[in-house]
Amino acid sequence: MKLYKAYAKVNVFLKVTGMRDNYHEIISRFMRVDSLYDELSFVPKEESEFKIYGNFSCQTNQNTIYKAYFALKQATGSESLEKLMRSHGVDVKKSIPAFAGLGGGSSDAATYLKMCNEVLHLGLSLNDLARIGLKVGADVPFFIYGYKSANVSGIGEIVEEFDEESLDFEVFTPDIQISTPKVYQIYRDDFYAPIDGFKTDKLKKMSSKEILKSMRADEANDLFKPALQAYKDLKKHYQHGWHFSGSGSSFFRVKEK
C-alpha cells in the first residue's frame, strides 16, 4: 500500500496575542522539518473494529487519528469511509516523538484526513479538511495545507503561507513528557504578557533565519519560561544557540552547512 509522510514542525517563534474564551490566541511561525516524519498507510485486517498499528502509549479512542476519523465521519456521513475502516487499519511507523512540541499527533491526523480524501475520492478541498481537522487539534490545519513555512494565528485556524527558503534543522528531544495545558496554565498565571499588533506584524514579516539569529529561546517562545518552571529537568538539556518548539520538550537549531 502507498506510504504517506506526516512531517514534524518546529515553532520558529511562538507569542501569545490574547485570550478567546479558555483558549490562548497566538502568532507563530511553523516550519516543516523535512528530515523527521511518521509514515502512514492503510493495511488490510480481519477484525471489524477501528485499528491503529504503531507504537502509541494512548488508547485508540484518545489517538488523534481516531479523532480525525470520527470528525470526518461526522462531517461527511460517508459510508465508504466506514467500509474502508472495517476492512483496513492504519499502520503508523512513528519517528516523531510524542509530547515534544513537534506536532506529531496533529500531523498524523492531517495526513490521515488527506489519505481518506484521496483514496475514497471524497472531493473535499483543503479548506474543508482544515475545518474538520481543527476539531481534532489546533495545529492540524497547518499540516493539512502542506506549507513548508507559514504564519499561524488565532487558535491555529488562520494559516498564511510564508515564502522563504527551507531550513535544515537539527532536533533534540529530551525524555521529558510535557503537558501543553499545564504549561499554558503557568503562562497564564505567572507570565501572561500578550504582544501588541505592531510587534505581531513585525514578526510576521521577518524571515525564520533572521528570527533565530536575533532572538534567544525565551524571547522567541513565550512558553519556554513556563515550561522551565514546570519541568525543572528541562534546564539541564538547554544549550545556548538552541530554540524551543511549542510547549516542548524539543530543542532545535539550524544545521551548520
- Evaluate whether 4-161 and 169-254 have a shared fold: no
Q: What is the mean pLDDT of residues 63-82?
A: 97
Q: How far is CA 62 from CA 69, 80, 145, 248, in A?
A: 12, 23, 24, 20
The arrangement of secondary structure in 169-254, i.e. its CATH architecture, is 2-Layer Sandwich (3.30)
pTM, entire model: 0.94
The domain segmentation of the chain, as residue ranges, is 4-161, 169-254
What per-residue confidence (pLDDT) applies to 207? 97
Residue of 38, 108, 139, 222 marked active site: 139
How is domain 4-161 classified at the CATH fold level? Ribosomal Protein S5; domain 2 (3.30.230)
Q: What is the mean pLDDT of residues 55-69?
A: 90
Residue of 9, 15, 67, 114 marked active site: 9
Q: Is 139 a catalytic residue?
A: yes
Helix (H) or strand (E) holding 117: helix 104-119
Of the candidate ranges 16-20, 59-63, 112-116, 181-185, the one whose mean pLDDT is the lowest: 59-63
Q: Is the pLDDT of residue 98 over 90?
A: no
